[in-house]
Structure 1
């Protein structure tokens, strides 16, 4: 049984939810412990509370991957007689690593907001609040004809060549490459000191700048040459826009009352707060996990009929009411949809790389501090 190293696990995780996506000031990444160890069991949770830590210890977990960071601000003291200090002490004593993916997981494709939109049955979703644009770059690499297919597949699998719904897009030009291997070389083709002529393919493909490291790594691993000849160019075309929240449409119009029942079923909540006439028609839906007060205007500007978010302020609700925007507030804890979503994503990545000695489980602890009575 082959267990993944923590550094490799997080490297794969950050290939789709990179820390660079996090909003400024958000404390994401390693929180407690070390990544430099074998990981036989991962626990995915929304929150890190003492009950969750006890669950991790009981399940012999090596790493917790959480959505909400356990460390929000720098610590001045750590008193282990306090509940918080006791929890941190348990993590350290039992060698449980804690890693947090917060707003980067909100923004990432396939992350919290995509999972929430999917649960609500939204189609043709777009970003609600733009936070960044990932600029495009172009890779040009010269490969012997016989190995071109292998390199093409490798860079495509690493994230190059995605245009719309098409993947592995490249342009290939045949030509002749020349080189003279030096005395200290071990050439794949040719002899030391002799001019070598090789039938090569000039392979071109675009990729998001955020994926440059992994694309180049995949290219160099698949390429047969000791010294790979390649160029990377910046492009003027705009890249993919990323951000918080999603906005999309239901398959068919329904009343706000019916939509509320949809929200309750999607997120397994018995009650939620609603703003708006329950008989009004709903078709276009904005959703933003967590606390969405300051983004209410984005939902209005983008023409949403209803805004699904948590922790809505009394006065924000008045503003929405005056502007004709309905609100469904199922609470902050509905971000728990990330547990199963992240579990499936990590499991797929582990299976792809043959790590059959690492298990991924989700926390069964209910971490919502609120109860409706």
Structure 2
């Protein structure tokens, strides 16, 4: 069975929710339709003529890309321009293009976490905070006989995470009362008679983004015909989501040693470096793409080095004066997302028994050549 386009994107937005993207970022479906079966998904960093040819050769119906193919509003669509030819080829071969950009950067388990993990940066936090997760308190009353089943369902759906702790809940026994009315089908008790039931009150924390999922899991596991539960909004904030990651290296390294790690792990032949190569690096920051404007924030968070692309001359001068080293592997280092997204999506589709295949693009879209 093939997955529909909407289904594939539903999974993609579980990985990279649209609401965490920067305002006005060009994300989402940019070309084509999702109202079709998807035989093959191609995951690419950029969409250019070579990538479209690759998609055609693979029989791909959908391209999931990191960089937008339509960034500025189009005043006209001419098919005799370089990008116009790309749009025309995509339309003629019925290939949809979906873009996941800063939402993939920001999300936990996304671009910046992949880059930090590759470079051996641990115990990370965002360099630039963008979102504080909204939390709710879920309270549900369940018969003692089904307490563990409902608790497992709620926590298994993602509730109960507080900081570095998961499966957090509070449980207290008591009794509930109710009178089954005419036409009801009570789990226990008789119609028209007051019932006194041994119950457990379960309390736990639920991130706003998964409230519906947690409530659905709870209702499915609960034996009552009418479930008594409450959801309270909380002033307490959850995880902080943002751009970049900063944390300690597994082992201190010199800047020269870290340069070799960056070249190997991010698969880049050359980097630009700011700072003394024998400088000891203990705390490192990384931002996929062009992150030079967050140089001072990385420094404020205690980073010895910032790994990011497209650093301009004056930013490099400012970093040098401030005592922050920089490794610039170029914007194309974000290509780490191709394999990571493809692996994640393929696993998700297989879990749901879909035959849709997912392929990471082999096209090198790096525009620069190093002489």
Q: Same fold (TM over 0.5)?
A: yes
Is the CA contact (8 Å cut-off) linking 1:15 and 1:211 kept in structure 2? no
Match of 1:236, SS?
strand
Match of 2:14, SS?
coil
| Structure 2: distance between partners of 1:177 and 1:49 | 63
Q: Which residue of 1 aligns with 2:353?
A: 355
How far off its partner does 1:110 sit?
Answer: 0.9
| Structure 1: distance between partners of 2:69 and 2:25 | 12
Match of 1:139, SS?
strand
Match of 1:253, SS?
strand
Q: Which residue of 1 aligns with 2:370?
A: 372
Match of 2:126, SS?
strand
Match of 2:77, SS?
coil
Cα 1:161–1:41 shift into 2, 3 Å: same
Q: Which runs of 5+ in 1 are unaligned?
A: none
Q: Which runs of 5+ in 2 are unaligned?
A: none
| Structure 1: distance between partners of 2:218 and 2:72 | 40
| Structure 2: distance between partners of 1:36 and 1:220 | 31
Which runs of structure 2 are paired with 1:270-289 in the superposition (5 Å)?
270-289=269-288
Q: What are the Cα deviations for residues 167-217 of structure 1, in whole angstroms up to 9, with x where unaligned?
A: 222222333344445556565556666655544332211022222232223
Q: What are the Cα deviations for residues 24-71 of structure 1, in whole angstroms up to 9, with x where unaligned?
A: 111212222233333332211111112112211211112211111222
Q: Which residue of 2 aligns with 1:245?
A: 244
Q: Which residue of 2 aligns with 1:169?
A: 168
Q: Which residue of 2 aligns with 1:335?
A: 334
| Structure 1: distance between partners of 2:97 and 2:199 | 47
Is the CA contact (8 Å cut-off) linking 2:162 and 2:238 kept in structure 1? no
Q: What are the Cα deviations for residues 297-334 of structure 1, in whole angstroms up to 9, with x where unaligned?
A: 11111121111100001111111111111111010000
Cα 1:288–1:199 shift into 2, 3 Å: same
Match of 1:282, SS?
strand
Is the CA contact (8 Å cut-off) linking 1:4 and 1:355 kept in structure 2? no
| Count of matched residue pairs | 371
| Structure 1: distance between partners of 2:177 and 2:69 | 56
Q: Which residue of 2 aligns with 1:296?
A: 295
| Residue 205 (structure 2) pairs with residue 206 (structure 1) | yes
Is the CA contact (8 Å cut-off) linking 1:180 and 1:194 kept in structure 2? yes
Is the CA contact (8 Å cut-off) linking 2:349 and 2:355 kept in structure 1? no
How far off its partner does 1:372 sit?
Answer: 0.6
Q: Which residue of 2 aligns with 1:75?
A: 74
| Residue 116 (structure 2) pairs with residue 117 (structure 1) | yes
Cα 1:5–1:273 shift into 2, 3 Å: same
Cα 1:256–1:145 shift into 2, 3 Å: same
